[in-house]
Every structure is written in structure tokens, then in C-alpha cells.
């Protein structure tokens, strides 16, 4: 990695993509990269975590089982609160998203790990897919009435030329802010950790000061990782709810 282009180990090296298995399909580079490897590990870890912890199905859960139940009830409650009863059928989708982002964020905190969610292309793919899916769902469910979403009731008609572009931009902003927020949070946290860790080595005996800071920021990162996964899931639920109920 860093050794290949000089002794310098930069704080951005951790985000580099490497091809592990070179593949090409129809002229498109579909190589198996480290990003893909960590996503596969991520899905495997989620599967192992959820199946092993829920194997006992004890009435009084142990530590592991309550971890799994905690994440389940958190998302189930969120979906129920923001979508309502119709939201139940979307629960598997939102729960999978939440677990994927959560595990990607947490596994990225391991030493030498790669964080797929720190790449905007990964998060933008997810949010873009949600955006397209939610829009199609709204059109299928409400037909032409969907376009009334861009002109809220109670607004004077002569304001339409102003309100409609604003509402359309606001709607198109969703996938951008949805994806940028997650990627920027993960990117910023990881860069900050690496830069400060570099100071620990560079400052020698005085390195203890940034070292304490690194511990603090790592603790903050643990919170941010869970929080951002939750925010990603809750926003998906809110967008779904807007599509189902057609109001802001």
C-alpha cells in the first residue's frame, strides 16, 4: 500500500481501492476490490451475528441476544412511528439497510480495515436506489396525484412558478444529503483519527496529549457510527412515509 509509493503513510491511504481479483465483463471493470471484500465480510458478519445470537431464543435474553433484540426493536419502533401500520412490510428492507450501514461503520473502526460507507459512491448508490424506488412507489400508489406533492395545498396559485421549482429541488436534494451525510461523517472521523495518530508518533514523549485525544475521538466515533446508521435508516423510513402518505 503506502510502501509502494514512498515511505510516507498519508491519512488518506486507508480509503484507497485495490483490485484483489481482476475481472472484466463486457468491457466493464468489475474487479473484486478491497471495498467489495469488506462488504462481503460485513454481510457475513451480520448473518453470523443475527443467527448465532438468536439461536437460543431465551425468554430472558443474554447479552448477545439482547444486542440483536435491541437493534430489532429500535428499527421496528422507528418504522412504526414514522410510517404506521403500512410500514410493516418495509421493515425487512429498512432493517437490512440499518444493519449493513451499522456493521460497515463499526467494522471500519477495526485496525487495517476498510470502510465502504466512507465512499460516496457506495452511499450514493444506496440513497439513489432508495430515491428511485420511493418515487416509483409513490407514482404507482397515487398515480397522477403524486405530482401534487410539489405544490402543497393552501399555497396561492400565483406562487406556483416559484414554489414548484423550489419543491422539485428540495425533492432532488434528498439522495444527495442522504448519502453525503453518511460518507462525510465516516470520512471525517477516520481522517481525524489517522492525523492525530500520526501526531502521537511525531511528537515523541509529548505524544501522550494527542493520544488522549485519539481515545476521546475514538469513543466519539463509536457513537457516530451507530448514530449515522440510525439516521440513514430513519431517513429512509421518512421518505417511504412521504411516498405512502403523500405529505411533507
Can you give the binding site for another protein, defined by CB under 8 A? 73, 77, 162, 165-167, 169-170, 172-173, 176-177, 180-181, 184-185, 220, 223-224, 227-228, 231, 238, 248
Q: Which residues pair with 29 in a beta bridge?
A: 24
In the bound state with another protein, the residue whose beta carbon lies nearer, of 36 and 245, is 245
CA dihedral for 146, 149, 155, 161, sign (positive or negative): negative
Contacts of 113 (CB under 8 A, 6+ apart): 38, 107
- Of the candidates 3, 44, 40, the one whose C-alpha atom is nearest the C-alpha of residue 116 is 40
- Asked if residues 2 and 13 have their Cβ atoms less than 8 Å apart, the reply is yes
What's the distance, CA 150 to chain centroid? 27
Minimum separation from the CB atom of position 166 to another protein (A): 4
CB nearer to another protein: pick between 37 and 91: 91
62-82 burial: b if 16+ Cβ within 10 Å, else e: eeebeebeebbebbbebbeeb
Q: Which is closer to another protein, CB of 167 or CB of 194?
A: 167
Distance of CA 193 to the CA centre of its chain: 19
Rounded Cα distance, 248 and 241, in Å: 9
Virtual torsion, Cα 191, 193, 195, 198, nearest 10 deg: -140
Cell numbers for 84, please give them: 404506521
Report CA-CA distances (Å) from 233 to 5, 130, 237. 39, 11, 6
Least separation in angstroms between residue 10's CB and another protein is 26
Nearer to another protein, 47 or 170 (CB): 170
Shortest spacing between CB 193 and another protein, in angstroms: 16
**Given the complex with another protein, which of 160 and 227 has the nearer CB atom?**
227
In whole angstroms, the minimum distance from the beta carbon of 27 to another protein comes to 27
Q: How far is the CB of 11 from another protein (least distance, A)?
A: 21
CB of 60 to another protein, least distance (A): 12
Nearer to another protein, 215 or 227 (CB): 227
Amino acid at each position: 500500500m503506502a510502501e509502494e509509493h514512498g515511505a510516507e503513510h498519508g491519512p488518506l491511504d486507508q480509503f484507497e481501492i485495490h483490485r484483489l481479483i481482476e475481472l472484466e465483463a463486457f468491457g466493464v471493470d468489475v474487479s473484486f476490490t478491497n471495498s467489495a471484500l469488506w462488504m462481503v465480510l460485513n454481510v457475513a458478519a451480520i448473518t453470523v451475528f443475527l443467527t448465532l445470537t438468536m439461536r437460543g431464543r431465551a425468554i430472558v435474553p443474554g447479552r448477545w441476544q439482547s444486542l440483536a433484540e435491541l437493534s430489532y426493536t429500535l428499527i421496528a419502533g422507528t418504522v412504526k412511528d414514522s410510517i404506521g401500520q403500512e410500514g410493516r412490510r418495509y421493515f425487512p428492507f429498512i432493517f437490512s439497510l440499518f444493519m449493513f450501514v451499522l456493521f460497515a461503520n463499526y467494522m471500519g473502526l477495526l485496525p487495517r480495515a476498510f470502510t465502504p460507507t466512507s465512499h460516496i459512491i457506495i452511499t450514493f448508490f444506496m440513497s439513489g436506489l432508495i430515491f428511485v424506488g420511493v418515487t416509483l412507489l409513490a407514482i404507482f400508489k397515487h398515480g397522477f396525484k403524486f405530482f401534487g406533492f410539489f405544490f402543497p395545498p393552501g399555497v396561492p396559485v400565483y406562487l406556483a412558478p416559484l414554489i414548484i421549482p423550489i419543491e422539485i429541488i428540495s425533492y432532488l436534494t434528498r439522495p444527495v444529503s442522504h448519502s453525503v451525510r453518511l460518507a462525510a461523517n465516516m470520512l471525517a472521523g477516520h481522517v481525524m483519527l489517522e492525523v492525530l495518530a500520526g501526531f502521537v508518533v511525531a511528537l515523541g514523549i509529548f505524544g501522550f496529549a494527542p493520544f488522549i485525544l485519539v481515545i476521546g475521538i475514538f469513543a466519539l466515533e463509536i457513537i457516530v457510527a451507530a448514530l449515522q446508521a440510525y439516521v440513514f435508516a430513519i431517513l429512509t423510513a421518512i421518505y417511504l412515509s412521504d411516498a405512502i402518505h403523500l405529505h411533507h
